[in-house]
Structure 1
Amino acid sequence: MKTMKSFFFPKCPVKIVLLPGLLFITASLAAQPVTIPIVTDNHAIVLQTDKSNLLHTVYFGKPLADPGEYEVVSAGNNFNDDNSGIYDAAYTPSGTWNLSEPAMQVTHADGNQSLELKYLRHDILHIDSNSSLTTIILKDPLYAFQVSLCYKVWKKENVIEQWAEVQHAEKGSVILRKYASANLYFTNKDFYLTTYNSGWAREMQPGETKLLPGLRSVDSKLGTRAMLLQSSNFILSFGKPAAENEGAVMIGQLAWPGNFKLDFEIDSYRNLRVIAGVNPYESAYTLPANQVFKTPSLIYALSNSGTGEASRGLHNWARKYRVLDGEGERLTLLNNWEATYFNFDENKLKGLFKGARELGVDMFLLDDGWFGNKHPRNGDTAGLGDWQENVKKLPSGIGYLVSEAKKEGLKFGIWLEPEMVNPKSELYEKHLDWVIRQPLRPEKYFRNQLVLDLANPEVQNFVFGIVDNLFTKNPQLAFIKWDCNAVIYNAYSPYLQKKGLPQSHLNVEYVKGLYNVLQRIRARYPMVPMMLCSGGGGRGDYELLKYFTEFWPSDDTDPIERIYQQWDYSYFFPAIVTDNHVTDWGRQPLKFRIDVASMGKLGFDIVTSNLSATDRAFAQSAVQNYHTFKDIVWHGDQYRLVNPHESDISALMFVSKDKKRAIMFNYLVNSRYKITATVTPVVLKGLDPDKHYTVKEINLYPGSTSAVSDTRVYSGDFLMKIGYNPNVTLQRTSVVLQADAVE
């Protein structure tokens, strides 16, 4: 794919140049309006210049049959009264005649804080038959300052990735005070916003509100683990509340693991402005001349048929284009954390290997507590940062455990938290200058730890070296669980101070440093599976998932709570990236817990020797079943059938791409006395109406019989109109059904 450098052009007449795969257009200030459609198969966003060469958003909706008619869409708009004329700006500047919430605020090299952005040109690069990149260059007419608005489109999936690139040629540095990734505008009159409040072990708590005049903001100022309290995921619905199978919706995410801000503003016309990007809070960025600053991406999926269609498009895009090995396989595992916590040695771990083999999983994962000697990691108060095996716990080293696991037919993975340090550690004692802390103030700890300064290249080398040394010494290591538990208190970078750079760079440079480490790891170890963990759902975004195969949604593994959390995560992520572990949390039986965990990437965090003989037999059978249908869960199309937030049951299904097989999960989520949960059938989705299917219950507990008959054949049409009753009751709280097409 060819790329072009950006230059500053004087006024010029309209000019069109065709290059291989590239349409290049420029226009003068006096030219006719330039119309730029950003179009997917089912949606269109149309941008257009006015007589002053300002760029506006003039349409959001279904694509027109005749693309030429996009040029006259704006004729019906009348936003010309004073400041409201800039409400629909494609990227709103600050400091001139605009008084609305800006997308960009700057201080020029001469100290002036005004900014005007006018259309200069745009490029359309056709990457392949499904994807294209439109780049629109806006320039200040008085300053050598420009912003490139970038829209990458995947037509079939109806997904758009949007970001901005900022550069200048002023005589000195420019301070970027606000630098949004996207500035969107919608003219539908009623808007409903779903956002997700969080906290430890209560991630992804949804709340939908009708947006009223004024500004609604969702943001994070935590530095790391940024989604601990608020999520950068959101759902916008237009005209009415979000529905699964009808209505215009946008499912969006700011793909950025640092501080973010999402602004939703209803203007005086009751239209909606959306501005999303890095949180400008303590993040002013000094940009030297002739350097490019790239903002994070806002990624969104569009649908005219509800959230189900939008999320399936996003899932297909994620697996094919974004998530590391998104169309590949995943490892089932047994983790030792809840079985041992910090209290283990070689013999205890080897005893767990046998249980993992008996379960039939692929891998054993060694969690926290394996390192530190001067300050042993026997709890969360010490040792973090000293990444050498603890000689008392593991006298034979990690390599010995890798080989012992292999004897049991298991792969071996390991836990790391390389961005963090305990004050009680050799690393802290030797490299205090590597720690984010205010040198004159008392240290403030989160989980008894502090954050390392990843703005510092030396720290980046150290973090990369942790992973590299482990794989150099143990090349058969098969998995990394990468944790990040602390937020940033007392933000101060000794490295930035030493380099004479503003401390306001830290929130950006930390993330850039993390990306640099991950890029180096993937250059050397391109396909080793890695789980993104952050005390649960503190991290999970589509920029980090370029480097990770999966993420840990929550430390709350109570299966009832996980039904809700996995439901809400499913709007944004395909099941292949969500790690679901069977633990001893909750009061539900083992069958219920395994069934819930099977709706993603299955894992276990239990002491298998404590299981009864019947539970052990069921677990073994359920893992075998999982291996027969996991491909449908990981790579099939997901349909949310019965919402647990609105019903006594939850029902969700996955359908293979060829529509020959489907797996349907049904759960009782309300255990009130004498409740009858499924009075009527559950209507299925995603099948072929012309095919015929058998339906049978799987994952039956030993000694039980199914209330479901597997001898009758149903048409797909019947199952998607009348449905099928899984007979969920107080005695049958978890029912897994498998539908198979009859050839």
Structure 2
Amino acid sequence: MKIPVFGLLSLLFLQTYGLSFQVTPIVIESKQLAIVLQVDGEGHVGIVHFGDKLQNQDEYGKIWSQSLHNDNNDGIQNNAYTPSGTWNLVEPALTILHADGSMATDLVYKSYRKIANDNKSIDYVVSLEDPVYKTKVDLHYLVYPDQDVIEQWAEISNLIESQITLQKYASANLYLTGTSYYLRHYHGIWAQEMKPEVEELTAGIKTLDSKLGTRANLFQPPSFILGIGAVPSEDEGQVLLANLEWTGNFKIDFEKDTYDNLRLIAGISPHASAYQLNKGENFKTPALVYAYSNHGIGLASRNLHHWARKYKVFDGMGTRLTLLNNWEATYFDFNEEKLKSLFSGAKKLGVDMFLLDDGWFANKYPRNSDHSGLGDWQENKKKLPNGIPFLVKEAEKAGVKFGIWVEPEMVNPKSELYEQHPDWVIRIEDRPEVYYRNQLVLDLSNPEVQDFVFGVMDTLFSKNPSLAFIKWDCNAVIFNAHSDYLESVGKPQSHLYVDYVNGWYKVLDRVREKYPKVPMMLCSGGGGRADYKALSYFTEFWLSDNTDPIERVFIQWENSQFFPSIVSDNHITDWSKLRLKFRTDVAMMGKMGYDIVVDHLSEDELKFSQQTLKKYDELKPLIWYGDQYRLMNPWENPLASISYVSPDQTKAIMFNYAVSNRFDWTYTLKPIQLKGLAPQKTYSVKEINIFPGSRAVIDEKQRYSGEFLMKVGINPQVSQNRSSVVLEINEIK
């Protein structure tokens, strides 16, 4: 149930346009953050405060009077949703081509309402309207007070008879006051995701963007950290963590203005994406989700994790399956007998499930490599003469569940689907086709293609009701952006990038409506899809195809800023020849899985893996739902240290990894201070994940106060011979 409280009833206004002045500001509050909006004498809504909340709400009304600008048009800087073509001279949030050819839009205040939702969130809605063209914009600030998180988006409505064209339509337009701003953003490529960079923002515009079409994150993800007044640090300073909830092209602009304040405009990229609205139609932008903290990245990150688990990630408070994947063990080369032996290995190892990866389908053009078969989702009769139902039963006989890999948005030119439906493919007929992993993208703006993709999933589940898991991949990006479908229905090609992503969401809506309990992994050539809209359909995501454990420490560290450990798929593989213990300890930091041949393990390695999996089953609620504390940064030290603390502060687990091969005694001699424990409690510290033939070095009989562990610390005694150490910490009563 939603209970609206209308701002018109509680605030004072002069109603005549040109004299509209709001005496009482609109105050949007979470636990720490306050966003204060004020209507000026021209009816424009400005952001007069974005920062720490005040205890006395009456004082918000004094903020505007303390900022003395002489520029008669200073409202262009702090506007809450800046239109273009009239009084604005800065980067706009909204650009509209009107039916008469005018590019001029103005937005003035109309109303404000506050809606309390049953889930304890509060939706603050500020309505704006162009007094000439009657375009309406509703600004939504959905506040989750307990988690200190806000989702912000805009809904744009065409209220006139004529068609309008949205040329830019941002999700959020923020305005931060200060003198210096430091942006932590990320770049990368396949197997090198989430490489951080920190820079001070200077005059002008810094842009983060992607134009890949099918995936947000390859070269640059839609996530960032902003330090206000100082470089973002783990435990100090004002920071803003944000993620754009959109699995496609995006653009995030940071514009430092003439007053040394910062304008932040985030949303779908306007690149080749002008969008038409007919009379009565509206456009809802994706949300920008952000967490604000005045105590550094760590607090904002934990708040975002709490919000994600409770409100956004699919089954965020549920359980997850440990699995054995065949990909790095077999690649495309397998048959029923080989898979049955892997089922036995999965049971022997102790995981919950076996996951069959790429290569199980297509007959005319068999999927024996990534050059053919994609799109033909029938079991390959030569490899699997008895089909998937047989494999599901055989896996269950062996004592494990069965999951499967799909990539239903894609097609190989060498496939029956391509031969039968070239009109379903995003391509330009008169131009050479451009391939990414030897494949092309199906046109999900087309309802027939949406039906086909849903049908792939529906058929799998209908034939295999006990199918336990889906790994949904997406490797290709959009080249030669053209839709035969849009052309056939008279819609502009500039709708394609937006309609593709929304078409994918429509398919996932149908999948989740019919199959609400099946866990699904989000994958995209590694970590190419990492946003909170996609994760509202998926239980987890694949961070990177790079499973080297040293590299994974860094990739998992950076992703942990934004995403909780329960969504982080971490696998033990043979990519690296580092000790199995090190590989296992790194994977244990999230949702653990395996890509190995179990029969290739030595007796000690198998025993260690079995013992560790049993311990992981015991500790996974702590790892998945505990508060994460990043203790030692691997970018700044030869050692990484991360802990998870239970909400009641009775348990913790501490992961420690040596990440440098250089000899350095200094980091082995010093204790590491823990965080998040109760100072007055007494704790034991026990080393776990001990490899057979080794012994624990930490004295588990010793007792420590929480105060000691946080102010003095514990030395995990990491060294070249002890390159990873995992400590279990329990309250002693």
- Pairwise same-fold verdict (TM > 0.5): yes
Listed as ranges, the gaps of 5+ residues in structure 1 are 7-13, 18-22
Task: Kindly state the Cα deviation for residue 328 of structure 1 after the two structures are TM-superposed.
Answer: 0.6
Match of 1:739 in 2: 729
Letter of the structure 2 residue corresponding to residue 16 of structure 1: L
Q: Within 5 A, what are the aligned runs for 1:664-679?
A: 664-673=654-663, 675-679=665-669
Match of 2:633 in 1: 643
CA contact (8 A) 1:301 1:313 kept: yes
- 1:157-176 C-alpha deviation (Å, 9 max, x unpaired): 11000000000122221000
Letter of the structure 1 residue corresponding to residue 570 of structure 2: N
State the distance in 1 between where 2:20 and 2:606 align.
75
1:606 aligns with 2:606: no
1:379 aligns with 2:372: no
Letter of the structure 2 residue corresponding to residue 518 of structure 1: L
- 1:633-672 C-alpha deviation (Å, 9 max, x unpaired): 1111000000000001000000111111111000000111
Would the alpha carbon gap of residues 350 and 25 (structure 1) be closer, same or farther in structure 2, given more than 3 Å must change? farther
Would the alpha carbon gap of residues 128 and 24 (structure 1) be closer, same or farther in structure 2, given more than 3 Å must change? farther
Q: Within 5 A, what are the aligned runs for 1:624-703?
A: 624-673=614-663, 675-703=665-693
State the distance in 2 between where 1:425 and 1:163 align.
41
1:556 aligns with 2:565: no
Match of 2:713 in 1: 723
2:283 to 272, 287, 293: 293
Would the alpha carbon gap of residues 27 and 525 (structure 1) be closer, same or farther in structure 2, given more than 3 Å must change? farther
CA contact (8 A) 2:392 2:467 kept: yes
CA contact (8 A) 2:136 2:159 kept: no
State the distance in 2 between where 1:357 and 1:117 align.
63
1:243 to 228, 233, 251: 233
Secondary structure of the equivalent of 1:274?
strand
Letter of the structure 2 residue corresponding to residue 610 of structure 1: H
State the distance in 1 between where 2:666 and 2:711 align.
22
Task: Kindly state the Cα deviation for residue 446 of structure 1 after the two structures are TM-superposed.
Answer: 0.4
Match of 1:467 in 2: 457
State the distance in 1 between where 2:274 and 2:470 align.
34
2:273 to 276, 280, 283: 283
Match of 1:513 in 2: 503
Match of 1:9 in 2: none
Would the alpha carbon gap of residues 392 and 3 (structure 1) be closer, same or farther in structure 2, given more than 3 Å must change? farther
State the distance in 2 between where 1:529 and 1:563 align.
25
State the distance in 1 between where 2:298 and 2:16 align.
44
State the distance in 2 between where 1:138 and 1:419 align.
38
1:322 to 302, 306, 312: 312
Q: Within 5 A, what are the aligned runs for 1:17-36?
A: 27-29=15-17, 30-33=19-22, 34-36=24-26
CA contact (8 A) 1:24 1:123 kept: no
1:369 aligns with 2:359: yes
1:16 to 9, 14, 23: 9
1:50 aligns with 2:37: no
Task: Kindly state the Cα deviation for residue 539 of structure 1 after the two structures are TM-superposed.
Answer: 0.1
CA contact (8 A) 1:218 1:263 kept: yes
CA contact (8 A) 1:660 1:740 kept: yes
Task: Kindly state the Cα deviation for residue 129 of structure 1 after the two structures are TM-superposed.
Answer: 7.5
1:586 aligns with 2:565: no
State the distance in 2 between where 1:191 and 1:28 align.
39
Letter of the structure 2 residue corresponding to residue 693 of structure 1: Y
Task: Kindly state the Cα deviation for residue 225 of structure 1 after the two structures are TM-superposed.
Answer: 2.2
Q: Within 5 A, what are the aligned runs for 1:118-267?
A: 118-128=108-118, 130-267=120-257
Task: Kindly state the Cα deviation for residue 343 of structure 1 after the two structures are TM-superposed.
Answer: 0.1
1:705 aligns with 2:698: no
2:437 to 441, 447, 453: 447
Letter of the structure 1 residue corresponding to residue 9 of structure 2: I
Task: Kindly state the Cα deviation for residue 41 of structure 1 after the two structures are TM-superposed.
Answer: 1.0
State the distance in 2 between where 1:420 and 1:694 align.
52
State the distance in 2 between where 1:542 and 1:395 align.
39
Match of 1:335 in 2: 325
1:414 to 404, 424, 429: 404
State the distance in 1 between where 2:84 and 2:371 align.
47
- 1:456-481 C-alpha deviation (Å, 9 max, x unpaired): 00000000000000000000000000
1:503 aligns with 2:493: yes
Secondary structure of the equivalent of 1:678?
helix
State the distance in 2 between where 1:679 and 1:84 align.
56
CA contact (8 A) 1:420 1:486 kept: yes
Would the alpha carbon gap of residues 77 and 25 (structure 1) be closer, same or farther in structure 2, given more than 3 Å must change? closer
Match of 1:10 in 2: none
Letter of the structure 2 residue corresponding to residue 260 of structure 1: F
CA contact (8 A) 2:672 2:714 kept: yes
- 1:203-258 C-alpha deviation (Å, 9 max, x unpaired): 00000101011100010011012211111100001111011111110000111001
- 1:682-708 C-alpha deviation (Å, 9 max, x unpaired): 000111111100001000010111111
State the distance in 1 between where 2:655 and 2:202 align.
38
Secondary structure of the equivalent of 1:16?
helix
State the distance in 2 between where 1:151 and 1:80 align.
30
CA contact (8 A) 1:116 1:141 kept: yes
1:90 aligns with 2:85: no
Q: Percent of aligned positions with the same letter in both sequences?
A: 56
Match of 1:430 in 2: 420
Task: Kindly state the Cα deviation for residue 676 of structure 1 after the two structures are TM-superposed.
Answer: 4.8
CA contact (8 A) 2:221 2:530 kept: no
Task: Kindly state the Cα deviation for residue 84 of structure 1 after the two structures are TM-superposed.
Answer: 3.7
State the distance in 2 between where 1:224 and 1:688 align.
46
Listed as ranges, the gaps of 5+ residues in structure 2 are none
CA contact (8 A) 1:24 1:122 kept: no
TM-score calculated relative to the size of structure 1? 0.97
CA contact (8 A) 2:241 2:297 kept: yes
Letter of the structure 2 residue corresponding to residue 114 of structure 1: A
RMSD (Å), alpha carbons = 1.6
TM-score calculated relative to the size of structure 2? 0.98
2:99 to 93, 109, 126: 109
Letter of the structure 1 residue corresponding to residue 193 of structure 2: E
CA contact (8 A) 2:685 2:730 kept: yes
State the distance in 2 between where 1:472 and 1:24 align.
59
Would the alpha carbon gap of residues 416 and 3 (structure 1) be closer, same or farther in structure 2, given more than 3 Å must change? farther
State the distance in 2 between where 1:674 and 1:99 align.
55
State the distance in 2 between where 1:136 and 1:103 align.
15
Task: Kindly state the Cα deviation for residue 677 of structure 1 after the two structures are TM-superposed.
Answer: 2.8
1:565 to 548, 555, 560: 555
Would the alpha carbon gap of residues 271 and 135 (structure 1) be closer, same or farther in structure 2, given more than 3 Å must change? same
Match of 2:585 in 1: 595
Task: Kindly state the Cα deviation for residue 130 of structure 1 after the two structures are TM-superposed.
Answer: 3.5
Task: Kindly state the Cα deviation for residue 628 of structure 1 after the two structures are TM-superposed.
Answer: 1.0
- 1:319-346 C-alpha deviation (Å, 9 max, x unpaired): 0011111001000000000000000000
State the distance in 2 between where 1:518 and 1:678 align.
49
Task: Kindly state the Cα deviation for residue 105 of structure 1 after the two structures are TM-superposed.
Answer: 0.4
Task: Kindly state the Cα deviation for residue 384 of structure 1 after the two structures are TM-superposed.
Answer: 0.1
CA contact (8 A) 1:676 1:729 kept: no
State the distance in 1 between where 2:171 and 2:310 align.
23
Task: Kindly state the Cα deviation for residue 79 of structure 1 after the two structures are TM-superposed.
Answer: 3.4
- 1:609-641 C-alpha deviation (Å, 9 max, x unpaired): 111111111111111111110110111100000
Letter of the structure 2 residue corresponding to residue 345 of structure 1: N
| Residue correspondences, number | 731
Secondary structure of the equivalent of 2:667?
coil
Secondary structure of the equivalent of 1:181?
strand
